[in-house]
Structure 1
Amino acid sequence: MGEIVVVYEVDKGADTRVPRGEERLVRRVHAAPAAPGSPGTTGPRTLCGKDTFAMETTRWKPSEHPETPWYPAEYATAICPDCDAVMET
């Protein structure tokens, strides 16, 4: 498997504007293949098949943390089970 990009599916709520310095509520953490020829840029779909267009790309790079899971530890309860299953294979 090539480079993987971690993306957040965020809770848009009624107001999509977020005050500076605050983060949106992360609903799910997904893994997506990088776009061909553009490491760090998300491809069009996550490993579970969701569109990445409205998702936020994280700074977390699984390739930089080979000794840890593919997702940031603080979001362990929000990982997508389908993306996780693909990452385990």
Structure 2
Amino acid sequence: MSEIFVMYELDQPPAARSLAGASQAEERPVLRVHAANAAPGSSTTPGPRTLCGQDTFAMGTASWKPSEHPGSSWYTPKYAQLVCAQCDAVMEV
């Protein structure tokens, strides 16, 4: 199997703050955690679709790499409750 990327489906960006000095780079909450294969011919870029068929374009790529954690789950333990059931089922095969 090719390299697997953990992808974060993110909430919409927060509304712009009108207060002076407010951070413009607030973290966007993770809504769902997906898995994606590497793009064809690459081991460093996720492919265009997750294993459940969603577009990866607007998703964030996690720093967690399953290949660096043998014996662990494919997803980041911090977001275990947000794992896409379809992606998880494909990964179990």
Normalized against structure 1, the TM-score is what? Answer: 0.89
Name the larger-Rg structure: 2
Instruction: Name the residue aligned to 2:85.
Output: 81
- Report how many residues are paired: 88
1:11-58 CA-to-partner distances (Å, cap 9, x unmatched) read 0155389744x4211000000001122213110000000000000011
In structure 2, what residue type is equivalent to 1:34?
A: A
Instruction: Name the residue aligned to 2:20.
Output: none
Which of the two has greater strand per residue? 1
- CA–CA distance in structure 1, aligned partners of residues 85 and 5 of structure 2: 16
- Aligned residue for 2:36, secondary structure, equals strand
Which structure 2 residue ranges, 5 or more long, are not aligned? 18-22
How large is the Cα RMSD of the aligned pairs? 1.9
Which structure 1 residue ranges, 5 or more long, are not aligned? none
Instruction: Name the residue aligned to 1:51.
Output: 55
- Identity across the alignment (%): 61
1:61 aligns with 2:65: yes
